[in-house]
């Protein structure tokens, strides 16, 4: 279609780089192929995080991998910004020199 889109993501591996590398390789593909990417980009991000996690868990069990990762992604669709994250990774938006809070990171003390 004629809608401009941009995708950005950062992953912070825990206990090794396997999960972070896997996520960096597969999350954007899952987002791009998700059936809701055009109508509901936020849902596509959420489902793609879940799918990528399930895919890595299958690989990790098969190959006896023991790493994990946090992650944060930004999907810009036209003039709309969609943020998805897992763990304590964070994203910051600076608008006219001022920080705009977009999210509250996942922390052990949060319900």
Low-confidence ranges of the chain (pLDDT < 70): none
Taken in order 41, 13, 87, 63, the sign of the CA dihedral is positive
Residue 78, pLDDT score:
93
Residue 65, pLDDT score:
96
List, in order of start, the domains of the chain with CATH numbers.
Answer: 5-101 (3.60.40.10)
Contact by Cβ (8 Å): 68, 15: yes
User: Which residue stretches of the chain are H helix?
Assistant: 18-33, 41-63
pTM score of the predicted model = 0.87
Residue 104, pLDDT score:
79
């Amino acid at each position: 279609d004629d809608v401009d889109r941009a995708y950005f993501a950062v992953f912070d591996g825990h206990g090794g780089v396997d999960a972070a590398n896997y996520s960096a390789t597969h999350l954007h593909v899952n987002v791009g192929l998700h059936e809701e990417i055009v109508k509901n980009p936020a849902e596509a991000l959420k489902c793609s995080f879940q799918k990528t996690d399930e895919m890595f868990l299958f690989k990790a069990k098969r190959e006896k991998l023991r790493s994990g990762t946090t992650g944060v992604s930004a999907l810009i669709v036209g003039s709309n910004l969609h943020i998805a994250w897992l763990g304590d990774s964070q994203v910051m938006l600076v608008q006219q020199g001022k920080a705009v809070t977009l999210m509250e990171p996942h922390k052990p003390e949060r319900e």
